[in-house]
Amino acid sequence: MYVLGIDGGGTKTTGIIATSKGEVVAKATVGGTNINSTGKIAVQSELQKLIRELKELAPQNFLLVKRVFAGMAGAGNITNQDALKAILQPLFSSEVSITIDHDAITALYSGTIGKPGVVQIAGTGAITYGVNEASDRARVGGWGHLFGDQGSGYAIGRDALEAAFKARDGLIEQTVLSDLLIQHFNKEELPDIIPIIYQAENPKKLISSLTVLVMKAVERNDLMAKHIIDQNGAELGMAISALVKQLFSQGNDVIRVVLVGGLFNRYDVLKESIERTIKNEGIHVDIIFPKIFPAGGAVVAALLEENIEIDEYFLETFNRTNYDN
């Protein structure tokens, strides 16, 4: 039996055809398919391209695909889910079952392999999402960069800029962040970076990329950088704790918390404040990282919907056969 898992994001979308044992037989990647930002026509064209490529890579297996699970960015509401289903269904024979879900589920399952738990996603943006044993779902945050991405890469970068300019204005102590920013943009003085940021094609992404400077400043023992990491780590810890309290009545169970996204490449720096905050909130969690490629979470979800158990060999097989060709 074959399933197709799709992980649809804002900048790229990956599809994987795999067996119930975790063997990857085809994998393809196309552009972004967030229906909120990309527009329906473009999403349709990207998904058509994805399915066409998978079909070409494994024509025989494609015909045996029984279920499609698509975890899509922007598919949090019924309207968008229906729109995406209407795009995908005509690309398959009518016997194929198609489920459209939020991409946070794909991210969660890439760590819990289908078990309940919480996923904290933090890249440019941040959102906390969870599913409990009763399949109840809840979310915290993810309201966009203007007022809802506490603890995201964007928030950390913005805090660094704010600190550097406040130090320049004599409002707070000096910080090495100022020098790091000037060097990073190869400029003479801090105000020279203003037009670069405001005139950037994607200021949100540019600001988020400044996170690396904050990490560098922490390594140089800069107090302001440490404060920024402490604050944003605490925001992530609070979001995780709030979600655990909403979904789980914690007895002796330890809740799985999956950390997904570029920010956690530097979990060494963020670990202390995140874990301290969660502990202070009286929550017991098991922090884990993705065990498989993100689209693997969609494959797992598709198999679970077919009532197939994911055994211990699944992960090993999946990671062994999921190579880029």
- Which residues lie near a second copy (CB under 8 A)? 36, 139-141, 143-144, 146-148, 150, 158, 161-162, 165, 169-171, 191, 194-195, 197-198, 203, 207, 238-239, 242, 245-246
Residue 232 beta carbon to a second copy: minimum distance, rounded to whole angstroms? 14
Residue 13 beta carbon to a second copy: minimum distance, rounded to whole angstroms? 22
Give the separation between CA 247 and CA 230, rounded to whole angstroms.
26
Where on the phi/psi map is residue 22: left (φ > 0), alpha (ψ -120 to 50), or beta? left
Residue 146 beta carbon to a second copy: minimum distance, rounded to whole angstroms? 6
> In the numeric block, which tokens belong to residue 51?
């399915």
Considering only CA atoms, give the Rg of the chain. 21
Give the separation between CA 159 and CA 282, rounded to whole angstroms.
28
Give the separation between CA 4 and CA 22, rounded to whole angstroms.
11
Residue 198 beta carbon to a second copy: minimum distance, rounded to whole angstroms? 6
Residue 252 beta carbon to a second copy: minimum distance, rounded to whole angstroms? 23
Three-state DSSP at 311 gives coil
Cβ distance to a second copy smaller for residue 171 or 254: 171
Cβ distance to a second copy smaller for residue 151 or 296: 151
Sign of CA dihedral 144, 147, 150, 152: positive
CA-CA-CA-CA dihedral for 22, 298, 13, 16, to nearest 10: 20
Cβ distance to a second copy smaller for residue 27 or 158: 158
Cβ distance to a second copy smaller for residue 31 or 148: 148
Cβ distance to a second copy smaller for residue 238 or 298: 238
Neighbours of 189 (CB within 10 A): 9
Give the separation between CA 287 and CA 303, rounded to whole angstroms.
25
Residue 194 beta carbon to a second copy: minimum distance, rounded to whole angstroms? 6
Is residue 306 within 8 A of residue 66, CB to CB? The reply is: yes
Closest CA to 198 of 151, 229, 165: 165
Q: What is the DSSP string of 106-118?
A: HHHHHHHTT--EE
Cβ distance to a second copy smaller for residue 165 or 264: 165
Give the separation between CA 14 and CA 49, rounded to whole angstroms.
11
Give the separation between CA 24 and CA 154, rounded to whole angstroms.
35
Residue 125 beta carbon to a second copy: minimum distance, rounded to whole angstroms? 12
Residue 40 beta carbon to a second copy: minimum distance, rounded to whole angstroms? 15
Cβ distance to a second copy smaller for residue 104 or 295: 104
Cβ distance to a second copy smaller for residue 30 or 75: 75
Residue 253 beta carbon to a second copy: minimum distance, rounded to whole angstroms? 20
Cβ distance to a second copy smaller for residue 91 or 197: 197
Q: What is the DSSP string of 149-170?
A: -TTSHHHHHHHHHHHHHHHHTT
> In the numeric block, which tokens belong to residue 266?
């530097």
